[in-house]
Amino acid sequence: MRLIDLGWNDELGRGFEAWKATPHVQPGRVAIEFNYLYRVYVEGGEIEAMLAGRLKHHARGRSDLPAVGDWIVLRRRPDEDRGVVVGVLPRRSRFSRRMAGRITGEQVVAANVDVVLITMGLDGDFNVRRLERYLLLGRESGARPAILLTKPDLAPDLDAQAAAVRALAGDVPVHVVGPKRGEGLEPVRAMLAPGLTGALLGSSGVGKTTIINRLVGDESRRTREVRASDDRGRHTTTRRELVVLPGGGLLIDTPGMRELQLWEGGDSVRDTFEDVDALARSCRFSDCRHRQEPRCAVKAAVSEGRLAADRLASYLKLQNELDFVARQQDERAHIEEKRRGRVMAKALEQHLKTKGR
168-182 pLDDT, tens digit per residue, is 898 899 999 999 888
Residues of the chain with CATH 3.40.50.300: 94-253
How would residue 139 be classed by pLDDT, with cut points 50, 70 and 90? confident
CATH of span 3-88: 2.40.50.140
Q: State yes or no: pLDDT of 318 exceeds 50.
A: yes
pLDDT beyond 70 at 143: yes
- Determine the 3-state secondary structure of 71 from DSSP: strand
Strands (E), 122-266: 144-150, 174-176, 197-201, 241-244, 250-253
Rounded CA-CA distance 95/107 in Å is: 9
Average pLDDT, the chain: 83
Average pLDDT over residues 64-92: 92
What is the model's pLDDT at position 129?
84
Residue 106 confidence (pLDDT): 72
CATH no., domain 273-357: 1.10.40.50
The three-state secondary structure class of 250 is: strand
pLDDT of residue 236: 52
210 band by pLDDT with thresholds 50, 70 and 90 = very high
- Asked if the model's pLDDT at residue 282 lies above 50, the reply is yes
Query: At residue 228, does pLDDT exceed 50?
Result: no
CATH code of the region 94-253: 3.40.50.300
**pTM score over 0.75:** no
The per-residue pLDDT for range 14-70, each reduced to its tens digit, is 999 999 899 999 999 999 998 889 999 999 899 999 999 888 887 877 788 999 999
Secondary structure (3-state) at 39: strand
Which residues partner with 175 through β-bridges?
148
Angle 33-34-35 from CA coordinates, rounded to 5°: 125
